Amino acid sequence: MFARILTGALLTAAATLALAPTASAQPTPDWNTFYDKTANFVAPFDPGAFGDKGDRALVLSPYGTGRVIECKGDGHYVAVYCRQFDDQGREHALTQVISAPFRGVYVYNPF
């Protein structure tokens, strides 16, 4: 009798472990790699810049958000650095001039 109960318990435990979903954690991002962050920015004259898109950082750039804005860093271990490319493909920094606790403001550096 005891052997049947123990066997049943072991089979139940094995089935539970076999059918349990496996963990699928997101890979840790590499903070030294540039990622497209255009969706996190809004130009001041875009519709909704001070309405429904008010949670996004403002970007003062001749290209606004019409060109890709790439950023790297997490602001803690790696400093945040954002860039945008001009018509000739040259990289220009987007320098943050206002940060937390206020809304972030980034300015295009033409040099």
- The predicted model scores a pTM of 0.71
What span, in angstroms and rounded, lies between the C-alpha atoms of 5 and 58? 66
* Tens digit of each residue's pLDDT (9 = 90 or more) over 64-74: 999 999 999 98
Proportion of the chain above pLDDT 70, given as a percent:
75
Question: What's the sign of the alpha-carbon dihedral 57, 61, 64, 68?
Answer: negative
Secondary element (H or E) of residue 17: helix 2-19
Specify the length of the chain in residues.
Answer: 111
Q: Do residues 59 and 42 make contact, with C-beta atoms less than 8 angstroms apart?
A: yes
Query: Is residue 2 predicted with pLDDT exceeding 60?
Result: no
